[in-house]
Structure 1
């Protein structure tokens, strides 16, 4: 478990990166044989990614909801993410899902991909262990010049509106 970092921190990461969110939603609880293999397939893939960082995987975090699991992943590039999506282990799991589960609708799966090519991003953590992007990159204390969301994104002055918001400031 990561130690709690006292005070306010913000993540910093060099160069472009990709945020990939993938999740499973259980639609029919009693159809164990259809959703359990989908949920179980995530473990080996995540293990492979953590053990083989040269694939481009930087880090990730899992979240459990009332109906499933979501995983937020940070990747060095879209090309590396796409390459992994076509690898034997992932492709086999995807084909298995399609063959066994898709028609029955007992389980849903989704993903979202965000390519951060212009380097605009921001984060804030208050009295937290290194989490999310803070684990994939480097935590830096928030101080002068990095107090607001706009300052942390380096998106310019308030006179130049940008579509980046933070409710934690």
Structure 2
């Protein structure tokens, strides 16, 4: 049984990661302070403006003008008078992510297929310090982590790496946990990465300095699921998690290409949980 891919497009080179560094940096900086602190910073800025030799009207009007513009924009989008930019990048249908066959097609696998397994690595970090990401050791951890991700993406053609997605936790109101989910073809690929030179360098740094940085916290979890023991579904969602991975395949002419894993799941066997786990 063949399944319909969301898009027939493919690339001869691995697509660049679509993560927005600007959005990531914005969210990370915003997370360093509580809502109360941000309000106090705004109030302090407003107080400083009052000290300027300006008429009070010139000081307060910009703030209320910007607030009014944001309110009008929200009303316009909610009423359908203006395009909803929040829908940008979303997929307006029901899809699921499958592992493509070596030739790039999406066919049902044999029940005893060993090629349909997936390994997941969760890496978590947070700082328990009032300075947050400016605390001692945080910059070094960020440098090692970025080096690991770059190494994985650069060598994805041979190391079994499929992709990753990062999230901010909600267990506290500020300086939240940063969790990244990595997808691999097998547990063996995860272990090879863990014992590789780039990860080993970060590992050695941590072991040598962990006693000096009691405020730094890291964790990892690793899971491997065989064929038929994992599934996913996305409805009106954006490409994330397993849906944001890319896979190296070889077409009929022997040319290597990279394809995405999303296929339509509105009807047929892929429309149900049972169907998605028994293909």
Q: 1:8 aligns with which of 77, 87, 94?
A: 94
Larger Rg: 2
Compute the TM-score of the two structures, normalised by the length of structure 1. 0.81
Equivalent residue number for residue 163 of structure 2: 59
**Which residue pairs with 1:112 in the alignment?**
221
Give, in angstroms, the shift of residue 45 of structure 1.
0.9
State the shift of 1:102 in Å. Answer: 4.3
Greater shift after overlay, 104-113 or 142-151? Answer: 142-151
Runs of 5+ unmatched residues, structure 1? 156-169
Q: CA deviation at 1:24?
A: 0.5
- 2:263 pairs, out of 140, 146, 152, with 140
Higher normalized contact order (CA 8 Å, seq sep 6+, divided by chain length): 1
Give per-residue Cα distances to partners, 1:38-59, cap 9 Å, x unaligned: 1332111101111111111110
Residue pairs, 1:51-90, within 5 angstroms: 51-53=154-156, 54-65=158-169, 66-90=175-199
128-137 or 65-74, larger mean C-alpha shift: 128-137
Equivalents in 2 of 1:106, 1:34: separation in Å?
Answer: 9
Task: Report the Cα offset of residue 95 of structure 1.
Answer: 1.3
In structure 2, do the counterparts of structure 1 residues 82 and 74 end up closer, same or farther at CA, with 3 Å as the change threshold? same
Deviation, 1:114, is 0.9
User: What is residue 150 of structure 1 aligned with on the other side?
Assistant: 274
**Number of residues of Structure 1 aligned to a counterpart in Structure 2:** 155
Aligned partner of 1:41 among 144, 148, 173:
144
Work out whether 1:23 is the aligned partner of 2:124: yes
Q: Provide structure 2 residue ranges, at least 5 long, that are not aligned to the other structure.
A: 1-17, 20-88, 101-115, 170-174, 246-259
SS at match of 2:269: coil
Please give the TM-score of this superposition, normalised by the length of structure 2. 0.51
- In the alignment, is residue 130 of structure 1 matched against residue 239 of structure 2? yes
1:32-91 alpha-carbon deviations (Å, 9 max, x no partner): 112331133211110111111111111011112342311101001111110111111111
Whole-angstrom CA distance in 1 between matches of 2:137 and 2:143: 11
Residues 145-168 of structure 1: per-residue CA shift (max 9 Å, x gap) = 22222222129xxxxxxxxxxxxx
Structure with greater strand percent: 1
